[in-house]
Homo-oligomer: A and B are copies of this chain.
Amino acid sequence: MQLFYTPDIEPAHPQYFLSEEESKHAIRVLRLEVGSEVQLIDGRGGFYTAVIQDAHPKRTILQITSVTESYNKRNHYLHLAVAPTKNIERLEWFLEKATEIGIDEVSLVISQRSERKEAKVDRLNKIITAAIKQSIKAYHPVLNEPVKLPELLARPFDGQRFIAHCEPGDKLNLRGELLPHGRYLILIGPEGDFTPAEIESALQNGFKPITLGESRLRTETAALEACFEVNFLNRI
């Protein structure tokens, strides 16, 4: 399967022009010819089949032959807010793996103990895009610009909100708390965890404390564990 990510495609339009870069890749690298079939995903749930009408190496013209909307639509909405890891590669692979397993939105939350207070969203988005192509997903997870914890806590969210932390205190299991096919926002802290004051503030804002098991997990592993649990519990 030759899959292209085409976020600017118009479902109503019978043709699509590949970008210069994609055209070069399709014609020069993949050696596709007139009549060759390709697949397109628009990142909004649209999955297209098309054939090459003009194998131009700079502006390849595709003829759309079929469109599937809401392709493999997910049965819940997962928004993970995770602190960027000091080693950015750990955040990068979390994004790749979460995209493979299933996630809808990621916020990069900056907390008091965050050693990294910024991250290049454009670069990280490229990793997500590569992952949806590799795992053939028609929906592109949304990656938000870094946000400070207080601002995130103050934002309204229509769904269940949880915070995973390592401080003492009663904690719930997602297994017993998650409303099936719902909307969830889960907070994952930085190396060194959220401060007690940050946790208290989250609880006062309606976030429920959860445990992700007895193991001591790295930030990116905890985030992936939460992603796994939510998808697993919503699997029909």
Contacts and interface: CB of A to CB of B under 8 A. Distances in A.
Nearest to A222: B100
A229 interface: yes
Count class of interface residues, chain A: 20 to 34
A221 interface: yes
Given A72-B214, A93-B93, A213-B235, A225 B101 contact: yes
A226 to B, nearest CB: 11
B235 A97 contact: no
A135 interface: yes
A218 interface: yes
Contacts of A225: 101, 228
A134 to B, nearest CB: 7
Contacts of A215: 100-102, 135, 137
A136 interface: yes
A232 interface: yes
Contacts of A155: none
B217 A101 contact: yes
A224 interface: yes
Interface of A: 72, 93, 97, 100-102, 134-137, 173, 175, 213-218, 221, 224-225, 228-229, 231-232, 235
